[in-house]
Every structure is written in C-alpha cells, then in structure tokens.
Amino acid sequence: MSAPGASEKEIWPLWEVFVRSSRGISHTHVGSLHAPDATLAVRNARDLYTRRNEGVSIWVVPADAITTSDPDAKGAFFESPAGKNYRHASYYTKSEGVKHL
C-alpha cells in the first residue's frame, strides 16, 4: 500500500518532515512537502516549517519509505495490551498512603 500522498502521478515525491524544536527533545512530525530530492526537501522544509525559529534540526523521509501497521487490522493488532492494566502503576492501590511508592 503506497503512502497517502505519494502516488505515481506525482512528478516530485512527497516527504515527511520531522523537526527537533530544541536540544534534548526528539524530532517530531510537523507535516509533509513535495520536493525532487533529499537536499531540496531539507531546504524546502527549512523554508516551510521553520520560518519562526521552530527548530534546530530537520529530518526528511520519503513518504513511501515509511512502513505502517495495517490500518484495517487496528483492533486486532493493538489488542494485546488491552486488559493488562497491571502494567500501569495505577493498578496497584493497596499501597495508598505509603510514602515514596
């Protein structure tokens, strides 16, 4: 399945853009753009997504290089954590009132 927006009909491919807003923070997806190659994609991303000091670093990834979980199998794919609330600290209530726990 091709990535949304990355189709054969496009003369320039679509790129997904990730920006690190400051040191110590991970790159976050901010949007997409189209560009002929990776070098121009980075430049376009700078002009398009960091006009107001939004970032200190940019990643661009060809949209069709991203592999995704099957959207139709959403329920089944993410089922296993359901019903396993013992994985969360909030499951354990008997220690209530005890400090530093």
Partner 1 sequence: MTIPPVPYAIAPESTDTVSAEEQQFNDLIAADSRIEPRDWMPEGYRKTLIRQISQHAHSEIIGMQPEGNWITRAPSLKRKAILLAKVQDEAGHGLYLYSAAQTLGISRDLMTEQLIAGKARYSSIFNYPSPTWADMGSIGWLVDGAAICNQVPLCRASYGPYGRAMVRICKEESFHQRQGFEILLELMNGTPAQREMAQESVNRWYWPALQMFGPPDDDSPNSAQSMAWNIKRFSNDELRQRFVGMLVPQAEVLGVTLPDPDLRWNEEKGVYDMGEIDWTEFHEVLAGRGPANARRLQRRRDAHNEGQWVREAAAAYAAKQAVKAVA
Nearest distance, CB of residue 45 and partner 1, angstroms: 11
Q: Could you tell me whether strands 28-34 and 14-20 are parallel, antiparallel, or unpaired per DSSP bridges?
A: antiparallel
Q: Which stretch binds partner 1 (CB under 8 A): 5-13, 19-27, 79-87, 91-99?
A: 5-13
How many other C-beta atoms are found inside a 10 Å radius of the C-beta of residue 99? 5
Nearest distance, CB of residue 61 and partner 1, angstroms: 14
Q: Are 59 and 27 in contact (CB under 8 A)?
A: yes
Q: Contacts by 40-44 with C-beta closer than 8 Å and gap 24+? A: 41/15, 41/17
Nearer to partner 1, 11 or 101 (CB): 11
Contact residues toward partner 1 (CB under 8 A) are 1, 4-5, 7, 9-12, 14, 30-34, 36-37, 40, 47-48, 51-52, 68, 71-72
